[in-house]
Amino acid sequence: MNELSVFRGLRAGAPLPDADQLAVPRARLTAALRQETRSGRLARPARRMILAGAAAGTLAVTAGVVAILPQDNTRVSAGKGPHVLSAGASADALELAAATVEKHDGSEPGPKQWVYDKSTVFVQGKPQTSEEWTRWDGTGHANLPGIPPAGDVSDFDPDKLQVWYGPSQEDKWKKQGYDDRSQRQFYRFLATLPSDADRMMQRIRQEHAIDSIKGETRAQRDWREIDVLYRSVLIPPNVQAGLFRALAKIPGARVTTGVKDPLGRTAIGVSVTYAEKTPSGWQGKQEIFFDPKTYAYLGQTRDGGEIVSARAAWGVVNKPGARP
């Protein structure tokens, strides 16, 4: 599949996870962090950060809402710098994230609504920001800045919204067995997945259309799958939870608190580090960033910082050009 624009919305009225649902992961995480604090491996502010995020989590996938990611989360204390959690505390932190996000309702956008995504990539350290709108039924797409046409570009204005309309390709792709999917098709596939992390990842490995790479381990493949999913599709809440639990099962995956995402926002990071180049060509630290309050995807760095991207805003709007 190609890397389609993605969103997960925030909704102020979404119900908070109930205390019973969060009690077990919160208690486990508190105990793990307290033990690390006693042993001198973790500073106290990082523990407060994760627990505050659990209490305030309000992530939801909902149609008709546009969300702007916060520039920074001043409630989170990151003054003492990043802290890498142990394997046990990392697993508990990811379980807490899963228990938080799976409690929210998810709804599919209407066919005539548009998925909005504002993202920034860093090319040789310089940020390049773009906005995209994709109609949910697959019949429209819009871009800012615009893409220069072939031929004469003397009157081309990159600041003018470019909008394209055309027939939906979903039926054609399905009949021809084409391995690409629209956002709507992929969302509906994800909605069929089991909530159990192991069975969910098995289905994704079987049916997700990223290329298999000879010699790649299952853990390396799962990390690539999860990395692409966060960048590429709208994700139902049960699958969001499953992805956090799947990350906890990847050997060497660690949660780091008190970090900054590529746009300088306070975040938690989930990372793996490959000392040697993998069959896919990845090497060094690979990190995915999440908001510490909502666990929303913020961005990622890959291959020791050679690839850096961030999501600034996303949502569902009623026409191209609309934004938060």
Site of tokens 């009949």: 175
Average pLDDT over residues 248-258: 96
Average pLDDT over residues 273-296: 94
pLDDT tens for each residue of 168-207: 777 776 666 555 677 888 888 899 998 899 999 999 988 8
| Percent of the chain's residues with pLDDT above 70 | 71
Average pLDDT over residues 254-262: 96
Please tell me the predicted confidence (pLDDT) of residue 212: 84
DSSP state of 61: B
Q: Are 230 and 300 in contact (CB under 8 A)?
A: yes
Nearest to 86 by CA among 35, 21, 155, 17: 35
Q: Are 94 and 243 in contact (CB under 8 A)?
A: no
Identify residue 144 by its one-letter amino acid code: L
Decide if pLDDT at 208 tops 80.
Answer: no
Average pLDDT over residues 237-259: 96
Q: Range with the lowest mean pLDDT among 31-35, 110-114, 223-227?
A: 31-35
Decide if pLDDT at 67 tops 80.
Answer: no
Is the peptide bond between 145 and the residue preceding it cis, with omega within 30 degrees of 0? yes
If phi over 0 gives left and psi between -120 and 50 gives alpha, with beta otherwise, what is residue 181?
A: beta
Task: Locate the domains of the chain by residue range.
Answer: 19-135+173-317
Q: How many CB atoms lie within 10 A of CB 161?
A: 14
pLDDT tens for each residue of 80-127: 689 999 999 999 999 999 999 988 777 899 999 999 999 999 988 899
> Which of 19-23, 177-181, 299-303 has the largest mean confidence?
299-303
